[in-house]
Amino acid sequence: MEVRSIVLGPDEPYELRLVGRGARGYVWTWQVTGDADVVSVAEAPAPAPAPGTAPSPGAPMERTYLIRARSPGGGRARIRFAQVRPPYPDEAPYDEFVLDVEVVAVTGEA
């Protein structure tokens, strides 16, 4: 499991790329803890494959997630991504990734 820490300003985006195994039935899920309202997480649309190319069956596929700082007051959130197969909820995740996010507060200038 990889753990990464980032610092964002209010409304600043961060793009996270994770390798997916969708052809094998795995999907990335995420859970936000801590100051959960200081960030938003959304999966970016997958790019269209180049004409005449197709991924090999079972090939890993990259997924992109957009994390955006939302709070001008700052805070800290932890986003835990887990690669799971939804039909098997009791099965341990295939992979995990943790992103610790610090959102810095906007300070007024004197």
Q: What is the mean pLDDT of residues 5-19?
A: 95
Rounded Cα gap, residues 3 and 1, in angstroms: 7
H/E stretch holding 63 reads strand 61-69
Split at pLDDT 50, 70, 90, the class of 59 is low
104 vs 61, residue with greater confidence: 104
pLDDT digits (tens, 9 = 90+) for 27-39: 999 999 999 999 9
Q: Whole-prediction pTM value?
A: 0.84
**Percent of the chain, pLDDT > 70?**
86
Rounded Cα gap, residues 13 and 10, in angstroms: 9
